[in-house]
């Protein structure tokens, strides 16, 4: 197409959502003219399914639960007054709690105020708060955020070392629905150890976000932690950022959580419409359907042209891949659905992988996220030009347009989401847009987006490894022999676990934890 044809296509297919300051441009996706007409019946099914979801239908049959993350920003839509009241009261409690911390009504025992916040969580319990913190944070924040979001000892040590003497003025928020998530449990024990080593009373500086009656709930209550905030079974981890999971850290950081919720609620209004021409989430889901052929044939590349949105690709990895990566459809047919997600940021992508995107395998579609406002207006007034009449932001805009054109010239599909500015309402709306698009797409390809048996399979496998670790260490300790891993596996009656045993023993030997490796043999040494 020539430039005028592309402009006409842009005007024809642009979805402008003025209420949230967002535009969705799908003009650089090469779908046929009748595409929307051909899929309208299926979209109407998706709208119906979404209405059922918001009304409280059991959307996760495996666990027999509702899926209600949309109620978090519009409580009156909840299926009963009790849930609506719980949501409203939790938001109020969060704001009151944060205000007391900021006003020094709640303080640590050995400091006049809380200066830092460590979030202990995994998956959605960390990704959501990280995204919000990185997007909206500044040096003016009320508290500095840090994360224990893995079970990597070195990661724990880096955070603790960075805190240094400020550990005495650090609040810890432990986030786990069940309280039994091993990565989170490990992180909690590690930070407790750090507190004990400095003669600090952990309970006086700890807060829990968990479900009522969970292991974590009981520990926090028995030990007298500062407070406990709820997690509900109808909110999944990957859609929990606008619950206490994300709102509590954001409020403590000093972010206006009402604005986050308002932005999401405004986007929900738009994406709830059953008019596909006006519904950006429906259009986004349909573009995914076209680009991937409804079978995950292409990857989703997220390219935000804004440093603060770097974590968007990581956030969407979980939201999209955990929701859509399914072995079976709703009828039990094996379909192996999903869309792989990866990304970087502009214009870093220019120097990283755009070469392949333009000239390599055409196995992706790109999504550009563009923010029109380069800087805060007060800073922009005194910002320098890098050339006469040209700012750094002008270059960023140019690089985005150039990359989009370069991809389009080679027949590579791209979508562009444009925000007027990146603030709390805009971030809330962006989160809500993708949540709704995932739900619509799931209906289009006939899968359940709200359960994740594959995650549990990985956890069970890890537990098996740790059980085997205990057995092999005990066996070597008892026998006192110096053996190859093959000999160990045979003598233990575990010949099929030889590789697992090898990795266990090699790891323990490297960390000098009772196992010595010498000339390919392993033995126990106290």
Provide the CATH number for the domain around residue 117: 3.40.50.10490
Task: Evaluate the omega torsion of the peptide bond into residue 347 and state whether it is cis, within 30 degrees of 0.
Answer: yes
Total residues belonging to the chain: 526
Say whether both 499 and 511 belong to one domain. yes
Say whether both 245 and 116 belong to one domain. yes
What is the three-class DSSP state of 197?
helix
- For 281, the domain range is 3-59+263-451
Say whether both 102 and 168 belong to one domain. yes
Q: Say how far apart CA 114 and CA 128 lie, in whole Å.
A: 22
Both structure tokens of 116: 């830092």
Question: Quick one: pLDDT at residue 489?
Answer: 95
Strands (E), 237-333: 299-305, 326-328
Using DSSP bridges, classify how beta strands 414-419 and 22-25 pair: parallel, antiparallel or unpaired.
Answer: antiparallel
Domain presence at residue 64: no
**Cβ–Cβ under 8 Å, residues 129 and 136:** no
Question: In the annotation, is 351 catalytic?
Answer: yes
pLDDT digits (tens, 9 = 90+) for 17-63: 999 999 999 999 999 999 999 999 999 999 999 999 999 999 877 77
Q: Say how far apart CA 365 and CA 302 lie, in whole Å.
A: 9
Both structure tokens of 276: 């596909």
Both structure tokens of 448: 């359940």
Say whether both 428 and 468 belong to one domain. no
| CB atoms closer than 10 angstroms to residue 164 | 9
Say whether both 89 and 43 belong to one domain. no
Q: Active-site residue among 459, 503, 507, 525?
A: 459
**Cβ–Cβ under 8 Å, residues 123 and 110:** no
Question: In the annotation, is 451 catalytic?
Answer: no
Domain presence at residue 139: yes
**Cβ–Cβ under 8 Å, residues 117 and 166:** no
| CB atoms closer than 10 angstroms to residue 139 | 5
| Calculated CA dihedral for residues 251, 256, 259, 265, nearest 10 degrees | 10
CA angle (174, 179, 183) in 5-degree steps: 70
Say whether both 361 and 250 belong to one domain. no
Domain presence at residue 306: yes
CA angle (97, 98, 104) in 5-degree steps: 90
Say whether both 167 and 308 belong to one domain. no
Question: Quick one: pLDDT at residue 458?
Answer: 63
CB neighbour list of residue 470: distance below 8 Å, 6 or more residues apart? none
**Cβ–Cβ under 8 Å, residues 119 and 145:** yes
Say whether both 277 and 395 belong to one domain. yes
Q: Say how far apart CA 109 and CA 406 lie, in whole Å.
A: 59
| CB atoms closer than 10 angstroms to residue 503 | 12
CA 34: distance to chain centroid? 35
Say whether both 341 and 407 belong to one domain. yes
Q: Active-site residue among 76, 139, 351, 496?
A: 351
Question: Quick one: pLDDT at residue 319?
Answer: 97
pLDDT lower than 50: segments of the chain: none
Q: Active-site residue among 190, 322, 435, 497?
A: 322
Say whether both 272 and 292 belong to one domain. yes
Q: Say how far apart CA 387 and CA 38 lie, in whole Å.
A: 49
CB neighbour list of residue 390: distance below 8 Å, 6 or more residues apart? none
Sign of CA dihedral 58, 46, 288, 423: negative
Say whether both 425 and 494 belong to one domain. no
Element (H, E) at 145: strand 144-148
Question: In the annotation, is 499 catalytic?
Answer: no
Count up the domains in the chain and report the number: 3
Q: Say how far apart CA 382 and CA 380 lie, in whole Å.
A: 5
pLDDT digits (tens, 9 = 90+) for 213-254: 999 999 999 999 999 999 999 999 999 999 999 999 999 999
């Amino acid at each position: 197409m020539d430039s005028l044809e592309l402009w006409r296509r842009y005007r024809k297919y642009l979805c402008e959502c003025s209420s949230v300051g967002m535009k969705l441009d799908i003009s650089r996706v090469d779908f046929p003219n009748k595409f929307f007409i051909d899929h309208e019946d299926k979209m109407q099914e998706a709208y119906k399914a979404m209405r059922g979801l918001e009304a409280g239908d059991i959307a996760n049959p495996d666990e027999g639960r509702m899926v209600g993350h949309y109620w978090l920003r519009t409580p009156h839509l909840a299926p009963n007054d009790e849930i609506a009241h719980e949501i409203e009261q939790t938001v109020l409690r969060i704001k009151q709690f944060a205000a007391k911390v900021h006003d020094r009504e709640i303080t640590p025992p050995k400091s006049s105020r809380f200066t830092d916040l460590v979030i202990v969580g995994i998956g959605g319990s960390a990704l959501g708060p990280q995204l919000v913190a990185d997007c909206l944070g500044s040096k003016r924040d009320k508290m500095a955020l840090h994360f224990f979001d893995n079970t990597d000892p070195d990661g724990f040590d880096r955070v603790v070392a960075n805190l240094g003497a400020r550990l005495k003025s650090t609040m810890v928020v432990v986030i786990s629905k069940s309280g039994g998530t091993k990565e989170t449990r490990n992180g909690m024990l590690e930070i407790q150890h750090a507190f004990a080593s400095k003669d600090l009373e952990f309970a006086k500086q700890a807060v829990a976000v968990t479900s009522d009656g969970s292991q974590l709930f009981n520990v926090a209550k028995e030990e007298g932690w500062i407070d406990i905030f709820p997690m509900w079974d109808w909110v999944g981890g990957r859609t929990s950022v606008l619950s206490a999971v994300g709102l509590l850290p954001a409020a403590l950081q000093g972010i206006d959580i009402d604005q986050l919720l308002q932005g999401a609620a405004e986007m929900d209004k738009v994406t709830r419409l059953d008019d596909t021409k006006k519904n950006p989430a429906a259009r986004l889901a349909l573009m995914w359907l076209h680009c991937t052929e409804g079978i995950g044939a292409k990857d989703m590349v997220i390219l935000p042209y804004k440093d603060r949105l770097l974590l968007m690709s990581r956030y969407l990895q979980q939201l999209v891949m955990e929701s859509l990566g399914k072995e079976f459809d709703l009828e039990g047919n094996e379909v192996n659905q999903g869309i792989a997600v990866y990304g970087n940021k502009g214009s870093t992508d220019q120097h990283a992988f755009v070469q392949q995107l333009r000239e390599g395998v055409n196995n992706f579609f790109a999504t550009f996220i563009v923010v029109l406002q380069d800087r805060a207006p007060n800073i922009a007034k005194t910002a320098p030009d890098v050339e006469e009449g040209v700012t750094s932001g002008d270059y960023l805009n140019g690089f985005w347009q150039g990359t989009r054109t370069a991809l389009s010239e080679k027949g590579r599909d791209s979508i562009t989401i444009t925000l007027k500015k990146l603030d709390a309402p805009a971030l809330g709306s962006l989160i809500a847009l993708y949540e709704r698009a995932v739900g619509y797409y799931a209906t289009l390809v006939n899968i359940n987006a709200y359960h994740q048996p594959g995650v549990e399979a990985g956890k069970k496998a890890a537990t098996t490894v740790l059980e085997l670790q205990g057995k092999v260490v005990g066996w070597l300790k008892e026998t006192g022999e110096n053996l190859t891993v093959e000999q160990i596996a045979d003598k233990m009656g575990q010949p099929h676990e030889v590789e697992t045993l090898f990795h266990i023993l090699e790891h323990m030997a490297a960390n000098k934890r009772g196992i010595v490796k010498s000339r390919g043999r392993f033995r126990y040494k106290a």
